[in-house]
Amino acid sequence: MKYAFVFATAIAVAGFTTAPSSAADVSPTAPSDGKQATKIAPEEEAFFESKIRPLLIEHCYECHSRQSGESSGELFVDAADSLRTGGTSGPALVPGDPEASLMIKAVRYDDAEYEMPPTGKLDESEIKLLEQWIQMGAPDPRNSIAEPPQKTSPMDIDPRSHWAFNAPQRFRGDVAVGEDDCDVMDAIARALADDAGIALSDRCDDQTLIRRLYHDLTGLPPTIAQINAFVASSDADKHFRLVDQLLASPQFAERFARHWMDVARYADTIGYALAGKERRLEGSDRYRDWLIRAFATDIPLDQMIRLQLAADRFDPANKNGDLDAMGFLTVGRRFLNRYDTIDDRIDVITRGLMGMTVACARCHDHKFDPIPTTDYYSLLGILQSSETPEDAASPLALVDRAKPADSHVFLRGQPGNRGETAPRQYLTALRKPDEPRFTDGSGRRELAERLASHENPLVARVFVNRIWMHLIGRPIVDSTSDFGVRTEAPPLVDVLDELAAEFAEHWSVKRLVRRIVTSRVYAQSAEPADDRALRLDPENRLAARGNRRRRDFESLRDSVLAVSGRLDRTIGGPPVEIHLASPSPRRTLYAMIDRQNLPSLFRTFDVASPDAHTPKRFFTTVPQQALFLMNHPQIGAFARSLAEQVETNRQDAAAQVDRMFERILSRPPSAGERETCVAFLRQPAGQREQRFNPQLAWRYGTSPANAESRVTEFRPLAVFSGATWQDQDKLPATSELGYASIGAENGHPGRKHAVVRRWTAPASGRVTISGMVGHRNDQGDGVELAIWVGDRRLWRENQKSNNRPFRNLSADVAAGETVDFVVSPRASDSFDSFFLRCQVSLKSDHGEYFEGDSKRDFAGPIERGNEEPLSRLAQLAQTLLLSNEFVFVD
């Protein structure tokens, strides 16, 4: 600022209406040096006491008095000599000359940058009083005020005195290792609990353990077959083998990529944009996909840091795809003020990697930590000396400018008010006394190397603390992105340092995760050993028990997709909209994140804000979450899909209940649950008056091919391409369904799956079916069409290189019964594209007529929520999806 005292913040902070808190505020104070204030005339003293002192107290003392402890712009207004001495920009007033007094310029609002008070201009009468007072010579009867004892400046703190600024060391203490302890960290935690008089919880059962492992390492639930196999195994190393299996799965990489995307404030749009400017952040998904690859291949974290900050120096042509790693810096919000964009990047580097709140030093030295303002502008110089090239191999890349330069310190954060030059270098608190400044281009590579060093006291600690939070349920250090001097060493600091020191020896994320999830601490039951344990450590800071956790939004939605058979396991690709009425089968990781218009669904379920680095997510419980699971069309679609897949035996309600529990909760129901649910299924579903919609009568799916061409398990196709229903966005799908697809008059079976057009009868009556099937390729061995009404097959023919009609096939149907047109591959699925056109007419028992035409009625996703009520079986599916057993991990 031009006048940094701004009057300062100038006549001061304005508009505060703070009344004097004691007589000391309005009466003279004895001078500290024994001298009396200059004598003034009685009428001048009366003018000051009645007009000027109240005005200063009301508008200025809050930010410019010793009693408040504030001196914005280093200006005090509570003593005569302080006003004449002024602040960092010089005297606040010139006695006898209002026009030369900075105070008057500030309160007149002559300069838009220094308008004071900032909350509103003083009344003209008040300004006139100040002008009159200064014209009189600024008579002020107040004596000097003794300066309060100087507090120790944060800049005087010895970094070695703070635990987090010293490199972590492997544990060398003497602790008794218990029989159940799997690691030294277990012994450390046990010893702390013993000292506190807290009993440890027992080990959880195998069912709970496998659920935890699948949730924490993949974000998906295990199937009942996987649970049963794990529980039945007597192998001593089954826990370790399962961990290795999950760590090797693509789902592990997707899970941990999403965790890091919170740190990197990932989004697919730039945020606020002027009209006509492209809002899509080009290449954002390339950074996400790079993270997946990095975690899948276990790129060491130190190398991940180097690539995310300076990949232009390691893979400039993007031959390895590593230039996309620089999205760590460039996927953040783009501000109209370029210095705000740089500030965002400084914040993600320092809080995200180091747990240091360096961005707080933009306008002044840090209030608590030994981070001078020069440290902030050292980093600003590094990033300001980097630019986005037009011809880069990745739109996410930064490169060094041809002429890198240091930045000046911006006094009070104002670019127009330049101070000293801040050399591009590492942080003061962590820099060695003789450490040279950065000279290699912008300095980004040198900064990356300094962060990635095994000697760095913060990076390994901060990362291990984040991983512990994701796996154990709460972090060791609660302030996950602030390891500054106000952060005391946590009770489990020895566990943190043991893990961090060992991690910095190899930087393998998978090795770190394996160590934590094979520990006794990880496998503890969430039930406290006794009431005393809960009373003495209610927050479980000593890790004496497991932490009961709810699924985060990504895991919840992905789990719904998985149990309903709709999950598309394709890795990578462009972002997709997931909040629309028609559900997308992609994992939630691939959701479009629009900064400016973030769907309310994300906010409802506490998804990380993409506007800034997110240290950790908070889990709220609000009605909107339950309302989404109860009412959103997506959940209705999933419930219907589950019901269609489970409804293989219409007469056996108990078997349907068993299968529904196994699909959703990965366990059989208890006898009481089965009895209750069977009774529920036998009750008639609520009906509402509605018109028959022929498009809603059709569904498109697959079923495993078999000798009878029977539909043993109807699985709806998940993706509508605009012309065909298929399993994934592109054909052939990478799943086992391959080319399986259905269009208006065409389709293709899968390798081992038939494709099924299903028409559901809206009423009981007599159905008549006609149409034509064709195979129009000389190559291949053709296809087979079978037509089923319920469990009765009406027609079955092989078709090769010609067309064949079917006419006037008739059968009785019950309301809700299905007519299935099943096209199966023969020995080979090569050249199996087929033609199919079919018409269905139904005369109901009450004389109504309903018609279906496969071509006329063919459509993409249709919102069914207000048109078609859920069946009882679909209602049961939705109820189980809403249950705590499904929503919580254990």
**Per-residue confidence (pLDDT) for residue 21, from 0 to 100:** 36
**Digit-coded pLDDT (tens) for 97-136:** 988 888 888 888 776 666 677 667 888 888 898 898 889 8
**Per-residue confidence (pLDDT) for residue 91, from 0 to 100:** 86
In sequence order, which residues have a C-beta less than 8 Å from that of residue 755 and are 6 or more positions away? 700, 701, 702, 717, 740, 741, 742, 747, 748, 749, 822, 823
Beta strands in 592-688 (DSSP E): none
Report helix, strand or coil for 311: helix
Cis peptide before 139 (omega within 30 of 0): no
Give the pLDDT band of residue 685 (cuts 50, 70, 90): confident
Give the pLDDT band of residue 52 (cuts 50, 70, 90): confident
Q: Which residue has the higher pLDDT, 271 or 330?
A: 330
Give the pLDDT band of residue 426 (cuts 50, 70, 90): very high
Q: How many CB atoms lie within 10 A of CB 595?
A: 21
Q: How far apart are CA 654 and CA 637, in angstroms?
A: 23
**Per-residue confidence (pLDDT) for residue 20, from 0 to 100:** 36
Question: ∠31-35-40 over CA atoms, to 5°?
Answer: 95
Q: CA distances (Å), 707 to each of 747, 773, 786, 796, 822, in order?
A: 20, 20, 11, 12, 12
DSSP-based helix, strand, coil % in the chain, nearest 5: 35, 15, 50
Q: What percent of the chain has a predicted confidence (pLDDT) above 70?
A: 91
**Per-residue confidence (pLDDT) for residue 32, from 0 to 100:** 38
**Digit-coded pLDDT (tens) for 331-343:** 999 988 999 999 9
| Average pLDDT along the chain | 88
Ramachandran class of 90: left when φ > 0, alpha when ψ lies in -120 to 50, beta otherwise: left
Write out the DSSP string of 503-520.
HHHH--HHHHHHHHHTST
**Per-residue confidence (pLDDT) for residue 13, from 0 to 100:** 32
Q: How far apart are CA 798 and CA 793, in angstroms?
A: 15
**Digit-coded pLDDT (tens) for 806-816:** 999 999 999 88
**Digit-coded pLDDT (tens) for 518-568:** 999 999 999 999 999 999 999 999 999 999 999 999 999 999 999 999 899
Give the pLDDT band of residue 26 (cuts 50, 70, 90): very low
Report helix, strand or coil for 565: coil
Return the axis-axis angle of helices 206-218 and 250-263, rounded to nearest 10°.
60
pLDDT at 35 over 60: no
Q: How far apart are CA 304 and CA 322, in angstroms?
A: 9
Q: How far apart are CA 581 and CA 598, in angstroms?
A: 16
Return the axis-axis angle of helices 653-665 and 872-882, rounded to nearest 10°.
30
Provide the sign of the torsion angle of the four alpha carbons 593, 598, 600, 605, taken in this order: positive
β-bridge partners, 720: 725
**Digit-coded pLDDT (tens) for 834-849:** 999 999 999 999 888 8
Q: What percent of the chain has a predicted confidence (pLDDT) above 90?
A: 62
Give the pLDDT band of residue 15 (cuts 50, 70, 90): very low
**Per-residue confidence (pLDDT) for residue 556, from 0 to 100:** 96
Give the pLDDT band of residue 17 (cuts 50, 70, 90): very low
**Digit-coded pLDDT (tens) for 281-308:** 999 999 999 999 999 999 999 999 999 9
β-bridge partners, 269: 280
Q: Which residue has the higher pLDDT, 540 or 63?
A: 540
Give the pLDDT band of residue 33 (cuts 50, 70, 90): very low
Tokens 């008089």: give the residue: 197
In sequence order, which residues have a C-beta less than 8 Å from that of residue 639 and are 6 or more positions away? 564, 870, 874, 875, 877, 878, 881
* Residue 703 backbone phi and psi in degrees, to 5: -150, 145
**Per-residue confidence (pLDDT) for residue 80, from 0 to 100:** 83
User: In the 8-state DSSP scheme, what is residue 193?
Assistant: H
**Average pLDDT value for residue range 360-380:** 94
Token pair, residue 451, equals: 């962060």
**Per-residue confidence (pLDDT) for residue 34, from 0 to 100:** 38
Report helix, strand or coil for 471: helix
**Average pLDDT value for residue range 606-635:** 89
pLDDT at 14 over 70: no
Give the pLDDT band of residue 473 (cuts 50, 70, 90): very high
**Per-residue confidence (pLDDT) for residue 68, from 0 to 100:** 64
**Per-residue confidence (pLDDT) for residue 478, from 0 to 100:** 95
pLDDT at 409 over 70: yes
**Average pLDDT value for residue range 386-401:** 94
Q: CA distances (Å), 380 to each of 313, 654, 851, in order?
A: 19, 67, 70
Q: Which residue has the higher pLDDT, 673 or 735?
A: 673
pLDDT at 28 over 60: no
CB 259, CB 217: distance < 8 Å: no
Q: How far apart are CA 402 and CA 380, in angstroms?
A: 17
Q: How far apart are CA 386 and CA 310, in angstroms?
A: 10
pLDDT at 664 over 90: yes
Write out the DSSP string of 114-177.
G-SSTTSPPPHHHHHHHHHHHHTT----PPP-PPPPPPPPGGG--GGGSGGGS---------PP
**Per-residue confidence (pLDDT) for residue 114, from 0 to 100:** 62
**Average pLDDT value for residue range 423-446:** 94
